[in-house]
Structure 1
Amino acid sequence: MSKPGVKPPQATLDARFFSSNRSLPLGALPVLSQPPVGRWLLLSSTLVFAVIVVGGVTRLTESGLSITEWRPITGIVPPLTHAQWEEEFDKYKLTPEFKLLNHNITLAEFKSIFYMEWGHRVLGRVIGLAFVLPFTYFALRHKLSPSLPRQLAGMTLLIGAQGALGWYMVKSGLEDSLMDKPGAVPRVSQYRLAAHLGAALALYAGMFTAGISVLTDWRFAQTGKWSGLVDGSKWEQIMQNPIVRRFKTRSILLTGLVFVTALSGAFVAGLDAGLLYNEFPLMGGRLAPPTDELLSVDYASSPDGSGLWRNVFENPTTVQFNHRVLAVTTYLSTAALYATTRSTALRAALPPAALRSAVAAFAMANVQVILGISTLLYLVPIPLAAAHQAGSVALLTTVVHLLLALRRPSMAARLWRQANVAKSAKP
């Protein structure tokens, strides 16, 4: 029985909490996603993490142009007979990559690069099925919190768009016009590569964020725990603290910086810029190459030499220099954010999970710097380069997790918590 004068939490609800649960009566609690939903989203994010790393290896092994057609359905089955392999090989022989670089490649060597690209594409299809089918099930069974269906529908569209964007990227390396450019190297457009990677990182971050949010909301609703605090009832007081708010703003900016730095790495990979200036911290014995090399007129957008902005995206020297600057800035920013957590005032104000996440972010930043420098010094060996790409996703994970440690419980979780507290207070 409720306490006199205290309105049950259900009675305070209104229709805006039921946009995805219209079959429920108005007085009921909104649906709160349970742990299986969160675990499914984290598994989906893990698959996206894997496809990003596999995609990086595909680029490093120069396997991405081995499949010359996009067949979303029938392409899942690789060649099975010798005649089918010969047919695929003949298609590859018509590409600029074969004519300019791989004209001596054997059928056995072709199979090796074909399977690398095929595996990348199949993993993308697996992600689609592993996401769409459970999403459909959870949605039809009304297992999703009110805000989730729209988010997950957007992720579904992004998964489909990624397939089309991936082919759009590969197609840029198959164009016959490459044969007419003196000194041209058959490779995919670095712009399209960066767009493909950026969409994958956004998809990963979205799935990871949604998965962790589901699990933390459920824990808060059932136990009252929040961000490492056994008693999370003071979460609102903590989040309104000016010191915590400033820390969260800096964390958001750092997350954006990590994302941009990862994207700049796509331009490095797309232009093979990592094969230049294999030393650190200097470039040719100085902190920065000469200005006329960084802003070369060879990359100007106009015949009169104006429009030097293209150097930022198309000049391998400039691209590597920019990536270095962004990487060092990211490292120093992560170190500075971690250093602020050592102050007595901030340590007292921040929840334990945020403090742990700041430590994890700084630790991962150190690992990533070591991987990046090693990749450069050893002339981009595939294992190190693949680990460096994986490290960029891992660093993004740590800073996103830092933001999640400063996330407010959802409205549904708060209402459930109120209901559970009221229920436990009954005599």
Structure 2
Amino acid sequence: MSYRSTSSQAVSNWLFIVALMVCGMILVGGATRLTDSGLSITEWKPLSGAIPPLTAADWEASFRLYQQTTEFQEQNSTMTLVDYETIFWWEWAHRQLGRMIGLVYGLPLLVFWLRGSISGHLKPRLLALLGLGALQGGIGWWMVASGLVDRLDVSQYRLAVHLGMAFLILGACVWFGLTARTGPPPVRQGRLVGAAAALLVLVFLQIMLGAFVAGLDAGRIYNTWPLMNGQLVPEDYLAGLPFLQAIFESHAAVQMNHRWTGYLVALAVLGFAVAIWREPRVALKPFMVILPALVIAQIGLGIAALLAVVPLGLSLAHQGGAILLFIATLIATWTARRAM
């Protein structure tokens, strides 16, 4: 094996490790949201914030800052310092994992760059990905800041931007990891290439709709299936809002849209699987089974989480299912572009 092929494999492995860490980051972020921990740290300290409170006085000072938030004053006014420590650690872990990802991405990038291990095709893309990672940290604080005053939670719009950026970074890590290992895929036209790309966009859209469900706690209402409290379309779908506003701010609308887009994803996956079955390209055949299996499991987890009123374990499993479905669809898109 040549040095170039060995170094390319090392770059690929590094990007896949970063992708795995981003998956963990998304799950910890989900747990932070589900446990209402996201507003527990009210200051943005990218470097010094890596050190948590170490003394009783430090903990008291941090708790006093949280007590100034609307969330504490209107929702958690009976919270003790011990209770606060629990939610603090979730948010701290989420931020700390972000710092670790920055190091695990940035330092090897510098080493690989100086060694000449990164192809010219990937260099500008990996630099852009570094910039996206830095931007994501700023977006995270922008999101948290939206919930510190006059709100009990962060803005669902900013939450969706934050989650969307996380999935874009995840997708880039996987795509560039494949590129480093095998070279960039050719720009190949074809029915399956377009179908795979469209399915990937649809899966991403469904994930964004899920972000609005999480941001509004919309999974805590209409905990019935297949109907929504006996109705196909809930009577408060618009909630007295204009349509374009309702689809992002009405709890009923947000949940219904997420439900029905999930069914649409399932139909699209089924159609894609049939298209693969009719194709002679062997490389795509595994996705004929993988994608339907993942989407069935994901719908099952979503229904179970809804009926159980979004417990932490089931909700995180549902989020994990979204990650797996997104990655599998992205790899299917990659494979469709390369397969002869």
TM-score scaled by structure 1?
Answer: 0.76
Alignment of 1:27-38 (within 5 A): 34-38=8-12
Match of 1:261 in 2: 206
Q: Deviations over 1:35-65 (max 9, x none)?
A: 0000000000000010000000000000000
Aligned AA (2:287): S
CA distance, structure 2, for counterparts of residue 360 and residue 217 of structure 1: 24
Q: Is the contact made by 1:259 and 1:396 (CA closer than 8 Å) also made in structure 2?
A: yes
Deviations 1:57-95 (A, max 9, x none): 000000000001000010000000011101111111111
Q: Distance in 2 between matches of 1:384 and 1:361?
A: 20
Return the alpha-carbon distance in structure 1 between the equivalents of residues 181 and 305 of structure 2.
37
Q: Deviations over 1:239-281 (max 9, x none)?
A: 56xxxx1011111100000000001000000000001111111
Aligned Cα RMSD in Å? 1.8
1:226-305 correspondence runs (5 A): 245-290=190-235, 293-297=236-240, 299=241
User: Is residue 55–residue 120 contact of structure 1 (8 Å, CA) maintained in 2?
Assistant: yes
Match of 2:140 in 1: 166
CA distance in 1, matches of 2:243, 2:337: 42
Report the alpha carbon displacement of residue 406 of structure 1 after superposing the two structures with TM.
2.2
Contact 1:34 1:215 in 2 (8 A): yes
* C-alpha distance 408-341 of structure 1, shift in aligned 2 (>3 A): closer
Amino acid at match of 1:371: L
Which residue number corresponds to residue 65 of structure 2?
91
Tell me how far 1:212 sits from its aligned partner. Answer: 1.8
Alignment partners' CA distance in 1, 2:161 and 2:53: 30
What is the rounded CA distance, in whole Å, between the counterparts of 1:151 and 1:341 in structure 2? 30
Q: Which residue of 2 aligns with 1:425?
A: none
Identify the match of residue 88 of structure 2 among 99, 114, 132.
Answer: 114
Counterpart residue identity of residue 335, structure 1:
L
1:403 Cα deviation after fit: 1.2
Percent identity (aligned): 40
State TM-score, norm by structure 2. 0.95
SS at match of 1:405: helix
In the aligned structure 2, how far is the partner of 1:76 from the partner of 1:146?
Answer: 35
* Equivalent residue, structure 2, for 1:355: 285
The residue type paired with residue 213 of structure 2 is: V
Measure the CA separation in 2 of the matches of 1:68 and 1:400: 36
Q: From 311, 323, 331, give the equivalent of 2:266.
A: 331
* SS of the residue 1:188 aligns to: coil
Is this contact kept in 2: 1:358–1:399, CA < 8 A?
A: no
SS at match of 1:212: helix
Deviations 1:144-166 (A, max 9, x none): 11110111111101110111100
Corresponding position of 1:4 = none
- Aligned with 2:168 (options 202, 227, 251): 202
Within 5 A, what are the aligned runs for 1:135-150? 135-150=109-124
In 1, Cα distance between equivalents of 2:25 and 2:310: 20
Indicate conservation of the 8 Å contact 1:357/1:401, yes or no.
no
- Confirm or deny that 1:407 pairs with 2:314: no
Mind listing any 5+ residue stretches in structure 1 that lack a counterpart? 1-30, 179-185, 219-225, 227-234, 300-306, 410-427
Name the residue aligned to 2:43: 69
Separation in structure 2 between the aligned mates of residue 381 and residue 388 of structure 1, nearest angstrom? 11
CA distance in 2, matches of 1:284, 1:90: 42
Separation (CA, whole Å) in 2 of partners of 1:339 and 1:282: 29
CA–CA distance in 2 between the matches of 1:107 and 1:383? 25
Structure 2 CA distance for aligned equivalents of residues 357 and 138 of structure 1:
33
Secondary structure of the corresponding residue to residue 387 of structure 1: helix
Cα shift at 1:308: 3.1
Distance of 1:93 and 1:295 partners within structure 2: 34
Mapped partners of 2:126, 2:289: distance in 1: 30
**Shift of residue 355, structure 1, vs aligned partner:** 1.3
Q: Work out the CA distance in 1 between the residues paired with 2:320 and 2:238.
A: 31
1:215 paired residue among 164, 172, 181: 181
**SS of alignment partner, residue 279 of structure 1:** coil
Maintained 8 Å contact 1:172/1:189: yes
Distance in structure 2 (CA, Å) of the matches to 1:353 and 1:58: 39
The amino acid that maps onto 1:377 is L
Question: What are the superposed Cα offsets for residues 365-404 of structure 1, whole Å, 9 maximum, x if unpaired?
Answer: 1110111110101110000001101111110011001012
Match of 2:245 in 1: 310
| Equivalent AA in structure 1 for residue 302 of structure 2 | G
